[in-house]
Structure 1
Amino acid sequence: MDRGFRDELRALLPSPSLPLLLPRLFVRGRHVGGAEEVLRLDEEGALGPLLDGLPSARPGTRCCDGCGGMRFLPCFDCSGSRKVVAGVVGKGRQRGVVMRCGECNENGLVLCPICS
Structure 2
Amino acid sequence: KIFQNHRVRFVEKNIALDSEYGKELEQRCKCVGEPPSLPVVFIDGHYLGGAEKILGMNESGELQDLLTKIERVQHPHTCQTCGGFAFIPCPMCHGSKMSVFRNCFTDSFKALKCTSCNENGLQPCASCSQ
Is the structural similarity TM-score above 0.5? Answer: yes
Q: Secondary structure at the match of 1:50?
A: helix
**Residue of structure 2 equivalent to 1:18:** 35
Q: 1:20: Cα distance to partner?
A: 4.1
State yes or no: 1:32 paired with 2:55.
Answer: no
Q: 1:82: Cα distance to partner?
A: 1.1
Point out the structure with max Rg over C-alpha.
1
State yes or no: 1:105 paired with 2:118.
Answer: yes
2:93 to 64, 72, 78: 78
Q: Unpaired runs of 5+ in structure 2?
A: 1-16
Runs of 4+ in 1 over 4 A off after TM superposition: none
Do 2:26 and 2:36's aligned partners in 1 also have CA atoms closer than 8 Å? no
Do 2:40 and 2:50's aligned partners in 1 also have CA atoms closer than 8 Å? yes
* Identical columns (%): 35
What is the number of equivalent residue pairs in this alignment?
110
Relative to structure 1, is the Cα distance of residues 46 and 71 closer, same or farther in structure 2, using a 3 angstrom cutoff? same
Structure 1 stretch displaced more, 46-55 or 36-45: 36-45
**Residue of structure 1 equivalent to 2:65:** 49
Q: 1:99: Cα distance to partner?
A: 1.5
Question: What is the root-mean-square deviation in Å for CA atoms of aligned residues?
Answer: 2.5
Amino acid at match of 1:28: D
* TM-score between the two structures when normalised by the length of structure 1: 0.72
